[in-house]
Structure 1
Amino acid sequence: MIVTYNWLKEFVDFDLSPEELSHRLTMAGLEVDAMEKLGDGLDSVIVARLAAVDSHPDADRLTVCRVETGTDTVQVVCGAKNHRAGDLVAFAQVGSVLPGDFKIKKSKIRGQESMGMLCSEKELGLAEESEGIMILPPGLALGKPVMAALGLKDVRYEIGLTPNRPDCLSVVGVAREVAAMVGAPLGLPKFELVENGDDIRGQSSVTVDEPGLCPRYSARLIRGVKIGPSPEWMVRKLQTVGMRSINNVVDVTNFVLMELGHPLHAFDYNLLRGGRIVVRRAGEGEAFTTLDDKQHVLEAGDLTICDAEGPVALAGIMGGQNSEVQPDSVDILLEAAYFNPATIRRTSKRLGIHTESSHRFERGADVNMARVALDRAAALIAELAGGTIARGAIDVYPSVLAERRLTITARKASEVLGLKIDALDIKQMLRSIGLGCELAIDREDGALYVTVPSFRPDLEREIDLIEEVARLGGYDRIPVTMPVGRSLCHLLPEHQRQVKSARDHMVKVGFSEVINYSFIAPAALERIGLDGQDPRRQMVKILNPLTEEQSVMRTTLVPSVLETVAGNLAYRSLDLRLVEVRPVFCVDPQEELPREKARLVAAMCGRREPEGWAQNGQTVDFYDLKGVIESLLEQFRVGSLVFDSSRSEPFLHPGKSCTLRVGDKILGTLGEVHPRVLGNFEIESPVYLADLDLEMVFSLAQSHPGFSQISKFPDVYRDTALLVDESVSAADLFEKIQGVKSKHIENVVLFDVYRGKGIPEGKKSMAIRVRYRSLEKTFTDEEIQAAHGRIVATLCRELNAEIR
């Protein structure tokens, strides 16, 4: 928001210096981003009179002027054509420095001496473009600085307002704050509205089909106006606040917008079909061309101002070409309305149109200012453009918006601000900014009842009023205190502790955690080979995805992890240990929301050991990842684990993968990624991957088994090599040994598997080592032989094994 020092003084009588005013505004929460002194440094540009204007003897396009300054008469050579003897002009004396660091010097132009320069508006920084020199109004005193003589010596403030302060998007709004600072009354602009035309109700009407989106719509009719340039004072005022002059009628709407903060719009009444206004929603796909000559396709949620046949304006945003005020317009229908902020914000953002009008309506205009602004603008149009104002105004306001009533207590304000504040002080401060405030005589806690006016839509709760007290009293009065904190210790929920434990374990064994987006592309499941019947194909779609690559919630972590592996390999990071522990989102036909399940996917590739002179160059294989997963499940004490090679996943290599299960409970899968899948991700080296259902793991996790006594007696080993069928697995051996009831078996290890010379076709040799120990005594050789004999006999009988 841009305001000027002189404009503020029209409404408030104050003696603050420009610098002090800037500081006080900032301290009141209206931060001054920039302060510019208009006309500063131009005191040497003075009012002068042209005593004579003669043609240059040696140049047809130049004139030689005799310039009276009030104390002297000098000669100046000028290249303009719009001046004549007797005109008052802006004369830059020798030594003057004009905007752009242009210094005026004594010179000779085509043989004629020139003792200064006659300035144009552009050269003085008063306009972007100008034709000819600046001709001043008559009656100004000679020798007086031009900027002071024209009232243009001013200070411009650019205030950075927060979105919750729409009340300060006007000169009057900022003046209200200044009045509160200095304790002076606020004066509103005075005007006389003369209604000397026919009654407006016989000439026009307003129908509001959407009162929820447009609670109030007011209009006035001015007939017989003459469109033309605005007077100099209005042009200057608009320029000082960054607006350009268009014509007298449009300038009035912009002037009142900046003065009172309420947007208005002027329609050419004779271009309104049916001469009436209808406020309705746009039709879906309806086309509309705005004043900036851009065509927009509207949606059903957009609010439009229409005549009898179609849209003539986007409500609260911009008018249309089909009702624009033209140079030959003679009748004006003037609009002042209040629109629902959310509606204007939604349409403005969707169409990419941001205007001074939409800026104010989006933040919340003052519904009660609509009629004031309408009458003020109508009076100014009649004054500047002539015409007659129709008797009466159309004011459609079916449901008056009630003012909010809040309560504030001195006790709460004192506690929050750390100050001792009296209820009477609060009352005085809140009243100074236009809030109604009365002591609550029915309460004993220093409470006040506060009536919030319609120009303060941001005040909704007691804490908002306390903020007003803080800034009006001065933020610098609030004492500096150290924050008081409390240390709270809360245990994480069990599920979160288990997820954290799984994550920590994987990091402990050398894996790096990766975090990918929970959104993937639907085609990602095709890359890992899932068929159309796989339940993971049922995915939750994002209503408004950023890209197609992130349009569904993932039901598996595998594509994301393989994408991460591929990216790392592309950057020559070849030895990878990656893990992702994140939820997946599975559609449940019985539930409205998807089920969220924690899963763990780990991937390994590259060297088994770090590169170095003492390390071998072997690469990881299936058993490296199998050992990692076994250690993870061992941490959760998941027992009776079976690696079932008879079934797997389509993205894993058949014959080099397996399913992990406990009984009929599936924990996940493990194995080498299928070459076809690797090709889909442009991965050329083998990758080993494990995909675990952590929810199932947690459900099978067992409590700590407790502690047992350490034996003080020595252990005894027995090794046995068995010839078994090729189909017999190590798990089969361990299962049978476990079935031999012996409390003295401490450990069983498979330490050798051999196929080759001396081993019959279809057979293999498996060597096991069994360790025995007792808590009560040292075993004799006979006892060990008997115990080990039972194990060997069981294996020979149930697995058709033979001792080698």
Structure 2
Amino acid sequence: MIVTYNWLKEFVDFDLAPEELSHRLTMAGLEVDAMEVIGGGLDSVIVARLASVEAHPEADRLTLCQVETGSGTVQVVCGARNHRAGDLIALAQVGSVLPGDFKIKKSKIRGVESLGMLCSEKELGLAEESEGILILPAGLPLGKPVFEALGLKDVRFELGLTPNRADCLSVVGVAREVAAMVGRPLHLPVAELQETGPAIGSLTSVTVDEPALCPRYAARLIRGVTVGPSPDWLVRRLDAVGQRSINNVVDVTNLLLMELGHPLHAFDFNLLRGKKIVVRQAGDGEVFTTLDSQERTLKKGDLTICDGIGPVALAGIMGGENSEIQPDTRDILLESAYFNPPTIRRTSKRLGIHTESSHRFERGADVDIVPLALDRAAALILQVAGGEIASGRIDNYPQKMGERKLRIEGRLTNEILGLKLELSEIQRLLRSIGLDAEPAPDAPEEALQVIVPFSRHDLEREIDLVEEVARLNGYDRIPVTMPVSRMICHLSGGRQRGVARIRDAVVARGFSEVINYSFVSPTAWDRIALEAGDARRRTVKILNPLNEEQSVMRTSLVPSLLETVSRNLAYRTRDLQLFELRPVFLPRDGEELPDERRRLVMALCGRRAPEGWTQGGAMVDFYDLKGVVEDLLDYFRVDKVLWPVDAREPYLHPGKSCRIESAGALLGTLGEVHPVVLQNYDIDTPVYLLDLDIEAFLSVSRESEGFRPLSRFPDVSRDSALLVDESVTAQMLFDAVAAVRGKLVEDFVLFDLYRGKGVPEGKKSLAIRVRYRSLEKTLTEEEIAKAHGKIIRALEEKLGAEVR
């Protein structure tokens, strides 16, 4: 935010030197990033009069001027053509240094001596471009520095405001702080209107369809204006705070933006279809062209200002080409409104538009200043552009925003700040910045009740008021003390502990964690061969990606981990045990934010044991990774696990992969990466991959097994070799045994598979070992035979097994 010394003095009578003001503003929390003296170092550029203007004897395009300085006459050669005898001009005397480090020296031009230079606005830094020299108003005293004579000598302060201080995004806001510093009253600008036109209600109307998004909308109609260049005072005032002059009507709205901090907008009334305003949400896919000639595609939730047919402005952000002020504009509708800050911020960020208007509205404007800003703008437009103001104003404010009240206690304030302020002093400090602070009804000797104005959106709690007291009293007055603190141990939530346990368990089994970017390329899904209709191809796009390779949020960790494997292999690190435990981002229909789900992906390749003279050269295979997964399942007490063949993932080999299921839930997939996918990543060795859904995994895990008594009695094992069809799987065998195991079966295991001599074609031999034990007694041979016979009969009936 840029303010100037002279502009501040229009609202507060103070005599602080610029350097002192800069220090005081910084100590009040409005840090001054830069201070620049306008016209500084240019006191040698003075007001002078042209006594005579003659043609240069040696050059047709030059003039020879005799210039009166008030203390004598000097001769100057000039190349401009817009001056004549009697004009007052700006003379840069010999020795002057103009902006751009341009030094004025005594010189000869085409053989004629020149003692100075007649300056243009550009050469004095008053304009970016100018034609001819600067002709000054009549009546200025000769010899006086030009900037001082024109009232342009000023000091510009550039403030580095924190986002919470939206109230200081204006000259009046900063002036309010200055008034509090010096203990002087703040004089707000006064709007004096002459309403000579017909009633505004007979000419136009305003309808607000979204009062929650636009609580207040006010308008005035000015007819018969003349659009043209702004007067010098207005151009200079805007230039002093870094604003470019456009035309007199638009310049007034920009002036009020900087002065009061309240954005305004002027519409060409004759371009409004239906001669009315409607405030509504945009429709999905609605197209609108803004003032910067950019076509914007809107969506539901974007607030628009419309005429009788369609949008004419993006509320609080930017106007539209279809209603902008033109040189031939004669009637204008002036808008002053208050918009919901989150709505403006959301639209501004989505469309990538940041303007002075959106900067203020998204931080919170002052709903109470709407009519003042409107009336002052109308009065100034009448002054600089002429015309006639329609009688009355439209002020659509159906439900006034509720009054905000806070309480501040004197004891707590002093305790926090380490001060000894009286409650009356706290009241004085808060009142100095426009806060209505009165003794609290329930404790008038101990606390204050403060009514917070709508300009201070940052004041939400008592501690905010305490901060205001500290700031206004002076940060440099707070005593220095050593802090006192105590450590509090917060236990993490159950889900966090579970994720941490999984990470620790995987690391304990020899795997190294990798962390990849959450952003990937849209082509990542092609490399792992996902089908066109796969839900993981629906991604969340980044609005401002660094590059195309990181333009979408990942929905799977597999591409990133395979990329890491490929990179390590390229650097000749062949034996890899890697994992990544991070969230993926899945879009949700109708929701702006994606569904974040944690997944664990593990990759294994290379030798089974480190290279050495005592180790063999065996390579890892599917069962090495399956063993690690089984170990994890056992560690987290996940039981009744099924391993259906074929993971049904396009990036896994269909004949060398499986799914992991428990309690009817799919926990993940496991298998060898498909050769085609390996080729896409330039990987020349088999890679085995696990993709586990952490949420599903933790939902079926148990913290502990619980206590089970140990039997004091011996166990007995029975082995049986069974001839079964090739189609019978181990899981089918396990399911059949589990269905009839009874209470005497302690466990059972498949310990042998045989095909070959003695086994018919299409058959295989499976050997199982069943261990029996009782908690109550030693089992008899009869009891064991009965229990084992029951299992064998079940296998014969369900699987067609034959005992060998």
Taking the aligned partners of 2:190 and 2:666, their CA distance within structure 1 comes to 83
> Which is worse superposed, 401-410 or 656-665?
656-665
> Which is worse superposed, 70-79 or 336-345?
336-345
8 Å contact from structure 2 (residues 212, 340) kept in 1 = yes
Q: 2:61: which partner in 1?
A: 61
8 Å contact from structure 2 (residues 645, 659) kept in 1 = yes
Amino acid at match of 1:206: S
8 Å contact from structure 1 (residues 643, 658) kept in 2 = no
Is it true that 1:207 corresponds to 2:211 in the alignment?
no
8 Å contact from structure 2 (residues 264, 336) kept in 1 = yes
Q: 1:767: which partner in 2?
A: none
Structure 1 position 257, deviation (Å) = 2.2
Structure 2 residues without counterparts, runs of 5 or longer: 588-592, 712-720, 734-740, 742-750, 761-787, 793-801
Cα deviations across residues 106-140 of structure 1 (Å, max 9, x unaligned)? 11101110011011110011110000001111111
Amino acid at match of 1:395: D
Q: 1:81: which partner in 2?
A: 81
Query: Cα–Cα, structure 1 residues 259 and 487, in superposed 2: closer, same or farther, change >3 Å?
Result: closer
Q: 1:714: which partner in 2?
A: none
Q: 2:114: which partner in 1?
A: 114
Taking the aligned partners of 2:241 and 2:26, their CA distance within structure 1 comes to 19
Query: Cα–Cα, structure 1 residues 681 and 191, in superposed 2: closer, same or farther, change >3 Å?
Result: closer
8 Å contact from structure 2 (residues 430, 468) kept in 1 = yes
Amino acid at match of 1:151: G
Q: 1:135: which partner in 2?
A: 135
Amino acid at match of 1:80: A
3-state SS of the aligned residue for 1:13? coil
> Which is worse superposed, 282-291 or 430-439?
282-291
8 Å contact from structure 1 (residues 223, 330) kept in 2 = yes
Taking the aligned partners of 1:203 and 1:131, their CA distance within structure 2 comes to 46
Cα deviations across residues 638-674 of structure 1 (Å, max 9, x unaligned)? 99x9999x95656777997899999999998877556
Cα deviations across residues 459-489 of structure 1 (Å, max 9, x unaligned)? 2222222221121122223334444443445
Sequence identity, in percent? 65
Structure 1 position 15, deviation (Å) = 1.7
Q: TM-score, normalised by structure 2?
A: 0.78
For residues 399-798 of structure 1, the aligned pairs below 5 Å read 399-443=399-443, 446-489=446-489, 500-515=500-515, 527=528, 553=555, 561-580=561-580, 602-611=602-611, 617-621=617-621, 649=647, 675=675, 678-679=678-679, 682-689=682-689, 695=698, 698-699=701-702, 702=705
Q: 1:166: which partner in 2?
A: 166
Amino acid at match of 1:368: D
Taking the aligned partners of 1:186 and 1:623, their CA distance within structure 2 comes to 81
8 Å contact from structure 2 (residues 554, 584) kept in 1 = no
3-state SS of the aligned residue for 2:316? coil
Structure 1 position 71, deviation (Å) = 0.9
Q: 2:383: which partner in 1?
A: 383
> Which is worse superposed, 325-334 or 235-244?
325-334
8 Å contact from structure 1 (residues 637, 701) kept in 2 = yes
Structure 1 position 187, deviation (Å) = 1.1
Query: Cα–Cα, structure 1 residues 455 and 664, in superposed 2: closer, same or farther, change >3 Å?
Result: closer
Structure 1 position 626, deviation (Å) = 6.6
**Larger Cα-atom Rg:** 1
Structure 1 position 760, deviation (Å) = 11
Query: Cα–Cα, structure 1 residues 178 and 700, in superposed 2: closer, same or farther, change >3 Å?
Result: closer
Structure 1 position 233, deviation (Å) = 1.6
3-state SS of the aligned residue for 1:235? helix
8 Å contact from structure 1 (residues 316, 358) kept in 2 = yes
Is it true that 1:320 corresponds to 2:320 in the alignment?
yes
Q: 1:198: which partner in 2?
A: 197
Amino acid at match of 2:431: R
3-state SS of the aligned residue for 2:346? helix
Structure 1 position 57, deviation (Å) = 0.9
Amino acid at match of 1:566: S
Is it true that 1:25 corresponds to 2:56 in the alignment?
no
Q: 2:361: which partner in 1?
A: 361
3-state SS of the aligned residue for 2:362? helix
Q: TM-score, normalised by structure 1?
A: 0.78
Structure 1 position 432, deviation (Å) = 0.5
Taking the aligned partners of 1:72 and 1:531, their CA distance within structure 2 comes to 88
Q: 2:777: which partner in 1?
A: none
8 Å contact from structure 2 (residues 200, 220) kept in 1 = no
8 Å contact from structure 2 (residues 511, 578) kept in 1 = yes
3-state SS of the aligned residue for 1:375? helix
Structure 1 residues without counterparts, runs of 5 or longer: 588-592, 709-722, 733-738, 740-749, 763-793
The alignment yields a C-alpha RMSD, in angstroms, of: 5.2
Taking the aligned partners of 2:251 and 2:124, their CA distance within structure 1 comes to 23
Q: 1:241: which partner in 2?
A: 241
8 Å contact from structure 2 (residues 498, 698) kept in 1 = no
8 Å contact from structure 2 (residues 41, 97) kept in 1 = yes
Query: Cα–Cα, structure 1 residues 687 and 53, in superposed 2: closer, same or farther, change >3 Å?
Result: same
Cα deviations across residues 605-633 of structure 1 (Å, max 9, x unaligned)? 22344456786655445675577567667
3-state SS of the aligned residue for 1:368? helix
Structure 1 position 180, deviation (Å) = 0.4
8 Å contact from structure 1 (residues 540, 594) kept in 2 = no
3-state SS of the aligned residue for 1:156? strand
8 Å contact from structure 2 (residues 406, 461) kept in 1 = yes
Cα deviations across residues 325-382 of structure 1 (Å, max 9, x unaligned)? 3333333333322223233333333333332223222222222212212222222222
Taking the aligned partners of 2:345 and 2:595, their CA distance within structure 1 comes to 36
Q: 2:748: which partner in 1?
A: none
Structure 1 position 86, deviation (Å) = 0.8
Taking the aligned partners of 2:558 and 2:324, their CA distance within structure 1 comes to 60
Structure 1 position 270, deviation (Å) = 3.7
> Which is worse superposed, 144-153 or 510-519?
510-519
Amino acid at match of 1:199: P
Query: Cα–Cα, structure 1 residues 595 and 694, in superposed 2: closer, same or farther, change >3 Å?
Result: farther
Query: Cα–Cα, structure 1 residues 327 and 675, in superposed 2: closer, same or farther, change >3 Å?
Result: closer
> Which is worse superposed, 60-69 or 380-389?
380-389
Amino acid at match of 2:470: A
3-state SS of the aligned residue for 2:51? strand
3-state SS of the aligned residue for 1:363? coil
3-state SS of the aligned residue for 1:578? strand
Amino acid at match of 1:249: V
Taking the aligned partners of 1:475 and 1:155, their CA distance within structure 2 comes to 25
8 Å contact from structure 2 (residues 277, 306) kept in 1 = yes
8 Å contact from structure 1 (residues 518, 553) kept in 2 = no
Structure 1 position 423, deviation (Å) = 1.7
Cα deviations across residues 70-115 of structure 1 (Å, max 9, x unaligned)? 1121100000001111111111111111111111111110111001
Query: Cα–Cα, structure 1 residues 264 and 113, in superposed 2: closer, same or farther, change >3 Å?
Result: same
Is it true that 1:289 corresponds to 2:292 in the alignment?
no
Taking the aligned partners of 1:88 and 1:215, their CA distance within structure 2 comes to 53
3-state SS of the aligned residue for 1:457? coil
Q: 1:341: which partner in 2?
A: 341
Taking the aligned partners of 2:286 and 2:585, their CA distance within structure 1 comes to 40
Query: Cα–Cα, structure 1 residues 329 and 690, in superposed 2: closer, same or farther, change >3 Å?
Result: closer
3-state SS of the aligned residue for 2:466? helix
Structure 1 position 18, deviation (Å) = 1.0
Amino acid at match of 1:34: A
Taking the aligned partners of 2:655 and 2:310, their CA distance within structure 1 comes to 72
> Which is worse superposed, 340-349 or 697-706?
697-706
Taking the aligned partners of 2:382 and 2:246, their CA distance within structure 1 comes to 17
Amino acid at match of 2:319: G
3-state SS of the aligned residue for 1:416? helix
Taking the aligned partners of 1:529 and 1:40, their CA distance within structure 2 comes to 68
Taking the aligned partners of 1:83 and 1:57, their CA distance within structure 2 comes to 18
